[in-house]
Every structure is written in C-alpha cells, then in structure tokens.
Structure 1
Amino acid sequence: MKRTLAALTTLAAAAGGILAGAPAASAADGYCTTSSGISRGAYWVFVPTTSGGSTSCVMGSGSSGEAVDALQAALILCYGMDVGGRDGVYGAKTEAAVRSLQRATGQTADGVYGPNTRNVVEWRWTGNAGGGKCERL
C-alpha cells in the first residue's frame, strides 16, 4: 500500500511538472475562426486566421466556418482534392485531404491544419483582371 501511494505521488508530481512546463493557452496562436484577405500586388486570397488576424492558427476535425471554407477552396482549386464540397465543415474528407497534402510535403500526416501545414499550402490567388494562380503565402 505504501509503495502504491508513493508511486502515485511520484506520478502526480511528474505530471504536475509536465503541465507546469506547458505554455499557457494564451501563448498559443489559437484556432482559425475567420478568414482574412491578403494581397500581393494585383492578386489577393482569403486564408484562415484567428479573430486577431494571425494566420498561424489551428483547425481539425469538428472545426467549421469561413476559415475551413478558405482551406477547402485551396485544396479543391489548387490540388484538385475531394473535400466533400465547400461546406465550411472540417469533416472526414477535408481531414483526409490535409493528411494527403501533409504526406506529400514530408510532414507528419495528422490531418490537423496548423502553422506547419499552412506554410506548404498553395492558395488560389485571384487577379484583379480575372485569372489566378496557386502559390504559397
């Protein structure tokens, strides 16, 4: 009994140390909750962002909204991937498309869109005179 109690105490102390060393939630970039227009010369694109405008945000299974729609647009228009349609819902097909993109770019294929994945996505940039091109931010 004493050994079990000692082991649990040690485990609790170790877990407390791990949790204490983790960054505070406010230090994280946050979740993609909206999309923002970014321009580059005569071209512009909508990309997922946090409510504060950071493009280093996170989405995954269960996310929804205009940020997911912006990602789905890039996956469809620039990669020809099947995401189950542009419905703004990060469902199984969107997750599978993100995994495929992650594998193709040498990332860990976890299906979660975050800053590392954002850095390899080609977005559909639309020109003022029509037309467009796919390239990274």
Structure 2
Amino acid sequence: MSSRTPRNKPRALAALGTLAAVLACGVAVSPSASAAGIYPTCNTTKAVSISSGHSVTVPAYNSGSGKTLTCNLVFDRGTQNPAVTALQRSLKNCESYGYLTIDGYYGLETMTAVELLQEDYGLGADGVYGPNTRDSMKHYSSTLGCARL
C-alpha cells in the first residue's frame, strides 16, 4: 500500500483551486467527443481474476447484451453508477485517498483524486479514468485487500 504524506494535502487543495478556477471560466473538463465514441463509458463493475481464487473489482461496461467488458475509459464529471463506486473504493482503500467519499458520483473530489494518482504514477494528469490509470493503480479485492491487474 502506498503511503501518502501530509504534502499531498496542499497539492490536493491547489489542484481543487486550479480546477475550480478553470470551471468558473466556463471551460468544461471532459474527454473529447471522439474518445467518448471510441471507448465505452464504464457503467458497472467486473471481477477480474488476478491469481488463483483471487480477483479485483474494476469498473466495466455492460452493453445490455449480457456481456460485460472491461471498459477502457471515460468518467465524465457528473457520472453516477456502480463503476464509479468501484473506482472510489479502490482509490480510498488501496491508494490511500482516505478523505474520498464513496458515493458513486464522479464529482470534483473523485476527479481530483484521480489527477493526484496520475501524478504519483507519472501519467498524464487529466482526471480521466483510462487504460493507463486502470493498469497503474491498485484495485480493491474482497479476498486480497488490494492488488494490481
């Protein structure tokens, strides 16, 4: 489990301030329309086996056809569904963002936590849960605690 130091609180506050300023100017922060069209939006969860008898719960996409796929991308601000809940649980329990509220709503708090996680792992910090973020972070497992895919 990674360890967060008190230095992250000022970073989180700074990120919140910056994001608030951008949003106050009327600039929307969301993936491009082309990205949203290419990759399915996460709307449910899926257990992914990581070792014999153990799995982690990750955000996934269900098209309604009975087939659940691991989603590659896209939580827009304002999204509320079980996939967001799974992401928040992993961020809170596995990545040490203990302040995060698990409410299934991809709001400013969750987006900021994703940005900080992306910075910590050397990814492009855009606040969007995508394949690089998914593959870099630890996910919650009811049997193991936390593990990477």
Residue segments in structure 2 that go unaligned for 5+ positions in a row: 1-33, 63-67
Q: 1:50 to 1:24 in 2, by over 3 A?
A: closer
Deviations 1:6-56 (A, max 9, x none): xxxxxxxxxxxxxxxx6893xx12100111112231212211011141332
Higher RCO, Cα 8 Å, sep 6+ = 2
TM-score (norm 1): 0.71
The 2-side partners of 1:69 and 1:31 are apart by: 14
Q: Which residue of 2 aligns with 1:32?
A: 42
Is the CA contact (8 Å cut-off) linking 1:34 and 1:66 kept in structure 2? Answer: yes
The number of residues matched between the two structures is: 110
The Cα RMSD (Å) is 2.0
Is the CA contact (8 Å cut-off) linking 1:58 and 1:115 kept in structure 2? Answer: no
The 2-side partners of 1:65 and 1:104 are apart by: 26
Higher-Rg structure is: 1
Residue segments in structure 1 that go unaligned for 5+ positions in a row: 1-21
Q: Percent identity?
A: 35
Q: Which residue of 2 aligns with 1:136?
A: 148
Q: Which residue of 2 aligns with 1:102?
A: 118
* Stretches of 4+ aligned residues off by more than 6 angstroms: none
Amino acid of the structure 2 residue aligned with 1:98:
V
Q: 1:102 to 1:96 in 2, by over 3 A?
A: same
The 1-side partners of 2:77 and 2:44 are apart by: 16
Deviations 1:82-108 (A, max 9, x none): 464110001111111100000011111
